[in-house]
Structure 1
Amino acid sequence: MRLIQFERTDGVRAVGVVDGNAILTLNDTSTVRQLALDAIAAGSSLTDEVNKRGTGEAHDYDALMAAGRVLPPLDHEDPAHTVIAGTGLTHTGSAAARSQMHAKIAGAEAELNDSMRVFKWGVEGGKPETGKAGVQPEWFYKGDGSIVSRPGQDLPMPDFAEDSGEEPEVVGLYVIAPNGAPWRVGFAVGNETTDHVTEKKNYLYLAHAKLRFCAYGPELFVGDLPSNLVGNVRILRDGQTLWEKSFPTGEDNMCHSLANLEYHHFKYDQFLRPGDVHVQFMGTSVASFGDGIKTQVGDVFEISIPEFGRPLSNAISLVPSRNGLTPIKSL
């Protein structure tokens, strides 16, 4: 089952079940977050909760997308209560990439750079036995809900940025129950946009490079994550394909288990505030920057995983820094 969130013509929010090009409005439901919390309270699955409510009016999916009325598939009415984070060095990639990576980490650990060392730790200890904690992945914070663009909406790039590059990923979507327990609501396609030029200058600039707009959706995939997925990412410039690549994901193509990534995020008590939404980017194995592509304003990123429904599409736009070089005044 796949769900979307959207706005009716009167601006009222709704949740819909995807049925081909039809969006079947879920009765008595305005947000996926509340739907999930109601399912938790009832002790039922999300699918059971959807089936119990039933559907009503049908909407044209194409029309909703064209009008910009499709929302991210899970959010919070207060953006400050959405935590967006990610993990890196989690994917082994294709068979060829795996072979190359294993060759790189085969030597003495002291001879590896920090990135290769963390990747090696993941290969060796990222998939522990059930009930045990594995090695920590690379982790970073991206921002709150205010840095999320809707599906089809531009991804604003600040004027101080040196790059706006795509990172196609699976996104885990979570809600925190009233008792502080995290629950996985589902998955979506995501674009974890990054300033790769800034990141490449020095790995200590990674935190700066990650503080960029991102997008995920348009659909929420409800259920367990398939172990082997193959997505596709491309960049369109002036309507023509500039760059395109497939990307393998799912646990078969990762050096960390989903459970291990989730454990190392939600082990922190500050991430267990009841009612909050968490958006976790799970990492990627491809990026156009690595192939020498320099993106520019107007380029369109299109990312798809067939099992997750429609592609996620967003263009780069340039926005001025709010503060610029204005000195901060003392009170």
Structure 2
Amino acid sequence: MTVVFECVHDNRRHLGTGVPDDGAPLLLHPLGDDTLAGLLRGTDGSPEAVSAVLAERGAPVEVPAAERHRVRMLPPLLPDHPGDALVSGFMMTHNVKVDAEVPDQPNWFVKGLGDVLKVSGEPLRVPGDAVAVCEEAEVVLVYTGDELGVPRYTGYTFGNDVTDIGRFKRHPGHLSYAKLCDAGVAPWLHLGPPPRSVTGEVTVERDGAPVWKGPFTTGTDALHYDLPTMMSRLFAHEALHRPGRTHYVYIGADRGSFHAGFRTADGDRVTIDVASHGVRLSHTLAWTGRPQAGPGREGAP
């Protein structure tokens, strides 16, 4: 399977392939005036097709391992304007979370626009009045609107759908509020069908020491619902159609630290090791300031 990524080096966007090993140099191809989405649109996503596109761009630039800190990874296919990307997802999709009384389509939610996506090393912001925050290790499907605006599947990556699960548990009708936290995302875009089986481990560190660990299983085999049906029903809504818009859809998670009785805190570092696919995401949780009083808030009409 082909894996591609986009990054910024010397203030210019570049394209790379594969999931690079820690401490290895990077081979990067300048994108110039092109976009990764545009380049991929002209291929079938196969290794041969991607290699042919790269060959047309000339010799790659090698960034030594000692200078990798100068390279800023980007979420896959992130548009220049964050308003041209929509981050959303489904809840209660996995067999371990679903009981007999379920609808034929799981609840869908919006997390925000493209600026809520954070790659490893960037903090994940949660509201200052969050009740109980939990990580959610997930597969993330990436779609791009075609010339008519219809979202077309491009590939998948992995992410952390940070959620104020305590707010949702306290009032299920507040799911939409509970999801308005940042989302971790890996920069590596896998150009293939959504994975059937994904396994790994979550580690939460506090003051530099592990305080909770737990395994997770996800992928299409773990879903209670048929994924193609879920997505076709979602994107049947024309309100989501816009040419060039990138959609990042989180498809749900296994049980996590909250279900094990653990409570995260401000400053905790959450690392998701997707062992089955050689991908790691690591972020610090950051509680933001509490909302200020004003129109539409405390006592306002």
Q: What TM-score range do you get, normalising by the shorter chain?
A: 0.7 to 0.9
When the two structures are superposed, what TM-score results if normalisation uses the length of structure 1?
0.79
Provide the residue aligned with 2:260 in structure 1. 291
CA contact (8 A) 1:26 1:53 kept: no
Provide the residue aligned with 1:268 in structure 2. 237
Q: Write 1 or 2 for the structure with the bigger share of strand.
A: 2
CA contact (8 A) 1:233 1:245 kept: yes
Give the partner amino acid of 2:283: N
How many residues were matched structurally? 290
When the two structures are superposed, what TM-score results if normalisation uses the length of structure 2?
0.87
CA contact (8 A) 1:91 1:283 kept: yes
Provide the residue aligned with 2:293 in structure 1. 325
- Counterparts of 1:327 and 1:92 in 2: how far apart (Å)? 43
Provide the residue aligned with 2:4 in structure 1. 3
Q: Write 1 or 2 for the structure with the bigger share of helix.
A: 1
- Counterparts of 1:62 and 1:178 in 2: how far apart (Å)? 42
Question: Aligned-pair distance for 1:234?
Answer: 1.6
- Counterparts of 1:206 and 1:170 in 2: how far apart (Å)? 20
Say what the alpha-carbon RMSD is for the aligned residues.
2.5
CA contact (8 A) 1:82 1:278 kept: yes
* Aligned equivalent of 1:24, options 20, 24, 27: 27
- Counterparts of 1:39 and 1:219 in 2: how far apart (Å)? 14
CA deviations 1:70-129 (Å, max 9, x no partner) are 222231111111111111121124xxx8xxx6xx53xxxxxxxxxxx22xx4xxxxxxxx
Provide the residue aligned with 2:45 in structure 1. 45
Q: How does 1:3-152 map to 2 (within 5 A)?
A: 3-8=4-9, 10-18=10-18, 19-20=20-21, 21-28=24-31, 34-40=35-41, 42=42, 44-45=44-45, 47-54=47-54, 56-60=60-64, 63-64=67-68, 66=69, 69-93=72-96, 105=100, 117-118=101-102, 121=103, 135-152=104-121
Question: Aligned-pair distance for 1:277?
Answer: 0.4
- Counterparts of 1:229 and 1:67 in 2: how far apart (Å)? 31
SS at match of 2:60: strand
CA contact (8 A) 1:83 1:279 kept: yes
CA contact (8 A) 2:127 2:287 kept: yes
2:141 matches 1:172 = yes
Question: Aligned-pair distance for 1:23?
Answer: 2.7
* Structure 2 unmatched ranges of 5 or more: none
Provide the residue aligned with 2:208 in structure 1. 239
Question: Aligned-pair distance for 1:43?
Answer: 5.7
Residues 185 and 252 (structure 1), Cα distance of their counterparts in 2 relative to 1, 3 Å cut: same
CA contact (8 A) 1:39 1:45 kept: yes
- Range moving further from structure 2, 255-264 or 276-285: 255-264
Q: What's the % identity of the aligned pairs?
A: 27
* Structure 1 unmatched ranges of 5 or more: 106-116, 122-134
